[in-house]
Amino acid sequence: MKLKKLRKIFRILFPKKYTNTEAFELNLCQNNLIANFSKEENLYKVILTDGNQLFLRDYNYSDYDVFKQIFNNKEYQIIIDLFRLNTEFSNQKIIIDAGANIGLTTLFFANSLLNYKIFSIEPSLDNFKMCEKNIQNNNVKLFDRALSEKENMRYSVERNFRDKKDWSITTKSDVAGDIIGISLPEIIKKNNLNYISLLKIDIEGAERFIFNKENDLSYLKITQIVALEIHDEFNIRKSIEAILVEKNFLLFNSGELTIGINKLILTKLLDF
């Protein structure tokens, strides 16, 4: 008994030093949503307890942090609950996922909804390749593009934002850039969309260019829910909120998200 206590004290005083890989894999082992994982070349194939699978890069990337944010912390569960509990929302869920990163938000929506069509946009080529790896689904259309405030714009990747990891990649306008822009009106027109169930935007500060009164914001008229991460480093919260309120959205905050519900939908929900 004394020996066990001594060992316990020893482990507290002299904890085992893990390599970065060991610590990363220990985190995967301890996550209650992960049933199993295996390493395939430089990627981890992760099997979830619900039977779904996905791929993550190692500790050098932000992939696991994104996984926890989406799946463990359920950042977008409130959207799923709104859809499930209220029949006023259109039967088929049309979702635009701008700033898809490696596709985990898209996967969360796809795993949670039965009747959906998702348009996922990601400008980083490395992240986009992970999107392609994670999302092999005919109901999801992937765009290796940057969300643009207007047509015929080009961009380059900017990596100096926040912690500079892969979930903090943003874009900047660049006439010589190798990333083609795509605007929301373009997506609507090319895909004959009559409505957008959810417009999710998390583009690391570039939302300040999208939500500008000088732009074509007509897509907000057919949008039922907006879920937006506003990055306060750019002092844009008040101006974006003002635009959404002007466009008839009721706003509230949920974690890091600003969520807007189109008042036309809200009127139906409250049976006014």
Q: Count of domains in the chain?
A: 2
| Residue carrying the six token digits 């969309």 | 193
**What was the pLDDT predicted at 195?**
95
Instruction: Choose one of 31, 60, 89: the last residue of a domain.
Output: 60
33 shares its domain with 115? no
Calpha distance 142→113 (Å, rounded): 18
**Domain shared by 34 and 158, yes or no:** no
Q: What is the DSSP letter of 213?
A: T
Are 57 and 45 contacting, i.e. CB atoms less than 8 angstroms apart? no
pLDDT of 6 above 60: no
Q: Would residue 65 count as lying in a domain?
A: no
Is 199 found in the same domain as 79?
Answer: yes
Shared domain for 52 and 84, answered yes or no, is: no
Same domain, 144 and 90: yes
Comparison of pLDDT for 168 and 80, the residue scoring more? 80
Please state, in angstroms and rounded to a whole number, the distance separating the CA atoms of residues 231 and 69: 17
Is 254 a domain residue? yes
Residue 135 located in a structural domain: yes
Burial degree of 174 (CB within 10 A; 0-12, 13-18, 19+): middle
185 shares its domain with 250: yes
Asked whether residue 209 is domain-assigned, the answer is yes
Do 137 and 215 reside in the same domain of the chain? yes
Q: In which band, very low, low, confident or very high, does the pLDDT at 172 lie, cut at 50, 70 and 90?
A: confident
Same domain assignment for residues 35 and 82 = no
- Assigned domain for 68 exists: no
Residues 170 and 201: beta-carbon distance below 8 Å? no
Specify the 3-state DSSP secondary structure of 14: coil
- Residue 236 and residue 134 share a domain: yes
Q: Is 257 a member of any domain?
A: yes
Looking at the structure, tell me whether residues 43 and 21 fall in a common domain.
yes
Domain that holds residue 7: 2-60
Residue 162: which CATH number? Answer: 3.40.50.150
State the pLDDT at residue 272: 42
Domain boundary among 35, 60, 85: 60
Query: Could you tell me if 126 and 255 lie in one domain?
Result: yes
Which of 36, 60, 84 lies at the terminal end of a domain, its last residue? 60
Whole-angstrom distance, CA of residue 156 vs CA of residue 154: 7
Q: Is the pLDDT of residue 173 over 90?
A: no
Residue 169 has pLDDT above 80, yes or no: no
pTM: 0.87
**Is residue 266 classed as helix, strand or coil in its secondary structure?**
helix
pLDDT over 50 (residue 154): yes
66: in domain? no
Does residue 3 surpass a pLDDT of 60?
A: no
Do residues 82 and 143 share a domain?
yes
pLDDT at 156: 82
For residue 67, being part of any structural domain is answered with no
